[in-house]
């Protein structure tokens, strides 16, 4: 990285550092990425809005390729792995099948969200955690701290520096990627599912996930295989763009922020904190099903009290407004019509 004395220009070059501070200037720097073209050799400014706009439009109308290798990744395994995950996470994993991926939260004893992340069940006794790069050190520390002294037979394996993640997102992502996989139908996957596939002789953990609200896939691979995998994907993208005529672009974190905000997705650094419960943050689906059962987990008691209080408050509010059950029934009918209209 070079900068002139006035700090007006910054240029990027490949290096061996895992990742540059991704919220600065523009995007993640990885060893397999070529030096940035002149368009990107500047600090944030109006010209960057043009670049980010193009990336967002590519994601909405074609394909965008995101490098999420700065994420934190850990594998929790052992005879008591399910017990550990059940206590750590607000979601219920007791009925999750091998090959499923779950977006969940880790709560503190007050019910506040300490982390939001995805957990893939790779085996009956093996779970793969993937969390945002900004909080990866904090999130691992939290997991270790909570499990410490509980007497569970588990092992937490750090894989953050061993794994690279390329996220291919957009309405054309599946059709573009199909050509690089050996088997027909390899990408016929349900949302929030995962499977191991082969790309160019490389083992890749493929997850059908999105954080931008589009059809998309995350490809988790060994760091040493990332360069070759990226080139394979880029070549497929060029061929697909020329053949179909849709945009296929590399994209970065500014685009992710904009795209996810459009969909109302939560960012820990902006929309979540350890003083917010999942229900207060609008992601109560990560905890409410588990509250209906009897499985213990960290923060359950506080969440139960908070949820009960909120329900009573809402009921009292309806009663005070004079609507009572009539208003609630009307709201349900209105909601149903809204959904039907949206579908049709």
DSSP assignment of 173-222 equals HHHHHGGGSSSTTTT---TTBEEEEEETTEEEEEE---SSSSSEEEEEEE
Identify the pLDDT of residue 43. 52
Q: Is the pLDDT of residue 23 over 50?
A: no
Q: Please name the residue that has the structure tokens 């990866």.
A: 136
Q: Tell me which of 30-44, 59-73, 265-279 is least confident.
A: 30-44
Cβ-based neighbours of 101, under 8 Å, separated by 6 or more = 118, 119, 120, 121, 192, 193, 194, 207, 208, 209
Residue 45 backbone phi and psi in degrees, to 5 = -165, -175
User: Exposure of 21 by Cβ count < 10 A (0-12 exposed, 13-18 middle, 19+ buried)?
Assistant: exposed
Kindly report whether the global pTM for this prediction surpasses the value 0.85. no
Query: Which residues face 204 on adjacent strands?
Result: 197
Work out the pLDDT band at 331, boundaries 50, 70, 90: very low
Identify the pLDDT of residue 198. 93
Q: What does the domain layout of the chain look like in residue ranges?
A: 2-63
pLDDT digits (tens, 9 = 90+) for 142-192: 999 999 989 999 999 999 999 999 999 999 999 999 989 977 789 999 999
pLDDT digits (tens, 9 = 90+) for 43-95: 555 567 889 999 999 999 999 999 999 999 999 999 999 999 999 999 999 99
Is beta strand 113-123 parallel, antiparallel or unpaired with respect to 163-169? unpaired
CA distance 116 to 278: 10
């Amino acid at each position: 990285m070079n900068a002139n004395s006035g700090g007006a220009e910054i240029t990027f070059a490949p290096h061996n550092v895992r990742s540059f501070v991704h919220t600065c200037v523009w995007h993640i720097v990885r060893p397999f990425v070529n030096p940035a073209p002149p368009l990107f050799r500047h600090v944030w400014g109006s010209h960057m809005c043009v670049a980010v706009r193009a990336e967002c439009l590519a994601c909405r109308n074609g394909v965008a390729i995101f490098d999420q290798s700065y994420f934190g990744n850990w594998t929790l395994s052992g005879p008591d792995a399910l017990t550990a995950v059940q206590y750590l996470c607000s979601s219920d994993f007791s009925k999750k099948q091998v090959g499923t991926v779950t977006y969940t939260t880790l709560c503190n004893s007050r019910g506040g969200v300490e982390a939001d992340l995805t957990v893939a069940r790779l085996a009956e006794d093996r779970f793969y955690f993937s969390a945002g790069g900004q909080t990866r050190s904090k999130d691992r520390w939290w997991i270790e701290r909570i499990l410490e002294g509980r007497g569970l037979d588990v092992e937490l394996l750090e894989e953050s520096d061993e794994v690279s993640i390329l996220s291919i997102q957009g309405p054309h992502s599946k059709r573009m990627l199909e050509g690089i996989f050996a088997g027909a139908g390899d990408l016929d996957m349900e949302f929030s599912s995962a499977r191991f596939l082969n790309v160019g002789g490389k083992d890749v953990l493929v997850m059908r996930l999105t954080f931008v609200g589009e059809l998309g896939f995350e490809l988790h691979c060994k760091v040493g295989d990332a360069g070759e995998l990226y080139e394979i994907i880029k070549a497929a993208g060029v061929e697909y763009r020329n053949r179909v005529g849709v945009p296929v672009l590399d994209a970065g974190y500014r685009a992710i922020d904009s795209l996810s905000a459009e969909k109302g997705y939560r960012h820990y650094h902006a929309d979540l904190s350890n003083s917010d419960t999942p229900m207060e943050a609008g992601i109560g689906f990560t905890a409410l099903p588990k509250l209906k059962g009897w499985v213990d987990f960290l923060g359950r008691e506080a969440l139960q009290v908070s949820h009960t209080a909120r329900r009573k408050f809402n009921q009292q509010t309806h009663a005070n407004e004079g609507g009572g059950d009539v208003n609630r029934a009307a709201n349900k009918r209105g909601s149903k019509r809204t959904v039907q209209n949206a579908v049709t």
